[in-house]
Amino acid sequence: MDFRFTEEQLMIQDVARRISQEKIAPSAAHHDQTGEFPLENIRTLGENGLMGIEVPAEYGGAGMDPISYVLAIIEIAEADCAHSTIVSVNNSLFCNGILKFGTEAQKQLYVRAIAEGREIGAFALTEPQSGSDATAMRCKATRQADGSYVINGKKSWITSGPVAKYIILFAMTDPSKGAKGITAFMVDTAKPGFHRGKTEPKLGIRASATCEVEFQDYVASADEVIGKEGEGFKIAMGVLDAGRIGIASQAVGLAKAAYKASVAYVKERKSFGQPIGSFQMIQAKIADMKCRLDAAEILTLRAAWAKMEAEKVGGRFSTEASVAKLTASEAAMFITHAALQIHGGMGYSKEMPLERYFRDAKITEIYEGTSEIQRLVIARNETGLR
């Protein structure tokens, strides 16, 4: 693993930093308060290659590598976690899924508009009764004589669902086969039979629109199947490995924002005639925050490097991705909690972004696989036991 970044990696990091500081950070509080989807900012990110960072140029993307993706997401999340959620889903779950498992026609048809930020993509796996247990899904796709599928069922907690043009959907085509009976489909939300539910009133990442979606006799053609029938669960798990690197990067960026604010505050805030940063208990908090932040960032970069190496030989990087996601998400919760404590009453006030960082951090321990699921993945991969 080489810790030196290339010119190209530093370039896209600089682009992400500039947009984040000039466009995203100034509007973050407004979008958090109103829950308004930041469409203008997303368009700007797309125009600068950040909605399709690893997407090859022939499909409208920046053609960069996983390290570049991590560096860019960290910068965006440091400005606002909700924006980074939208970017992560577009990149990791949608574009990555089609590029890895889709046909050439699907890549040409669905990836370009998403990678350029002209449209929004989403990923529909979770259902009201099945979160971590994805194989318990009830959304069903029934194959017809002409090769098409009629889809009925509900999906919940769909990030970008209220605004998505295209959605990668996972539905059961043969319940008797369990996980091997799940198939992936491309859904065009403009077609009949697709319905959106209410936008969820979330604790954090409020500018990242989330909703339930329902299918009532929605017809998907044979060429809208992603991969092959019955490969859906394998596709979902493969895509989630990449998604976990995105969430780990998000957690690092969010934690970095809280950490930087805390370091600045302990130098300025005085108590008993001296900066509070000179008190040993505050120093201990800063030291613990710094250790967790650095560990999370290095493990996230390692996961991106492992993904890059795995793509060369067709291997997996699930352990590295889960280690990064678990470590970074729990670091984000620890660091934002400590930051809030350091800032005291001011940290609790909406006049400062600390309380937003704290609210936003919690979701990183939940989506793309909870912390409990990450521990199962890591332990099972290490021991070989199920």
Residues 309-353: tens digit of each pLDDT = 999 998 899 999 999 999 999 999 999 999 999 999 999 999 999
Residues 6 or more apart whose CB falls under 8 angstroms from that of 350 comprise 356
Residues 6 or more apart whose CB falls under 8 angstroms from that of 252 comprise 74, 77, 293, 296, 297, 300, 328, 331, 332
For the chain, the maximum distance between any two Cα atoms, rounded to a whole number of angstroms, is 81
Average pLDDT over residues 2-17: 93
The pLDDT, as a whole number, for residue 182 is: 97
Question: Which residues are 183's β-sheet partners?
Answer: 171
State which residues form the domain around 137: 122-232
What spatial distance separates the first Cα and last Cα of the chain, rounded to whole Å?
30
Kindly state whether residues 237 and 344 are assigned to the same domain: yes
Average pLDDT over residues 150-163: 97
Kindly state whether residues 180 and 94 are assigned to the same domain: no
Kindly state whether residues 238 and 354 are assigned to the same domain: yes
Active site residue 368: yes
Whole-angstrom Cα distance, residue 130 to residue 110?
27
User: Considering only 128-132, 194-198, 302-306, which range has the smallest mean pLDDT?
Assistant: 128-132
Kindly state whether residues 238 and 295 are assigned to the same domain: yes
What are the pLDDT digits (tens) for 258-280? Answer: 999 999 999 999 999 999 999 99
What are the pLDDT digits (tens) for 56-70? Answer: 999 999 999 999 999
Which pair of structure tokens corresponds to residue 72? 């860019």
| Of the residues 97, 120, 143, the one at which a domain ends | 120
Which pair of structure tokens corresponds to residue 45? 């990110």
Question: Which residues are 213's β-sheet partners?
Answer: 155, 196
2 part of a folded domain: no
The percentage of residues in the chain with a pLDDT greater than 70, rounded to a whole number, is 99
C-beta separation of 301 from 70 below 8 A = yes
C-beta separation of 207 from 29 below 8 A = no
Number of independent structural domains in the chain: 3
The pLDDT, as a whole number, for residue 134 is: 81
38 part of a folded domain: yes
1 part of a folded domain: no
Kindly state whether residues 258 and 139 are assigned to the same domain: no
CB atoms within 10 A of CB 197: 15
Whole-angstrom Cα distance, residue 239 to residue 232?
10
DSSP category for residue 130:
B
Kindly state whether residues 130 and 62 are assigned to the same domain: no
225-226/270-271 β-pairing: unpaired
Position 1 pLDDT exceeds 70: no
The pLDDT, as a whole number, for residue 300 is: 98
Nearest to 369 by CA among 198, 241, 279: 241
Whole-angstrom Cα distance, residue 7 to residue 376?
38
Residue type, 23: K
| Of the residues 75, 101, 120, the one at which a domain ends | 120
User: What CATH number has the domain bearing residue 63?
Assistant: 1.10.540.10
Residue 2: band (very low, low, confident or very high) from pLDDT cuts 50, 70, 90? low
Kindly state whether residues 100 and 45 are assigned to the same domain: yes
The pLDDT, as a whole number, for residue 179 is: 93
53 part of a folded domain: yes
Whole-angstrom Cα distance, residue 306 to residue 326?
16
Which pair of structure tokens corresponds to residue 79? 């400005």
User: What CATH number has the domain bearing residue 192?
Assistant: 2.40.110.10
Kindly state whether residues 103 and 114 are assigned to the same domain: yes
The pLDDT, as a whole number, for residue 130 is: 85
Q: What is the pTM of this model?
A: 0.96
Kindly state whether residues 248 and 218 are assigned to the same domain: no
Query: How far is CA 29 from each of CA 297, 340, 349, 355, 356, rounded to the nearest angstrom?
Result: 25, 17, 12, 11, 8
Mean pLDDT of the chain, nearest integer = 96
Kindly state whether residues 217 and 266 are assigned to the same domain: no
| Of the residues 120, 148, 177, the one at which a domain ends | 120
Catalytic position from the list 297, 368, 372, 382: 368
Alpha helices in 107-155 (DSSP H): 112-115
Kindly state whether residues 240 and 366 are assigned to the same domain: yes
Query: How far is CA 1 from each of CA 13, 113, 247, 325, rounded to the nearest angstrom?
Result: 19, 34, 21, 19
149-159/140-143 β-pairing: antiparallel
Kindly state whether residues 106 and 143 are assigned to the same domain: no
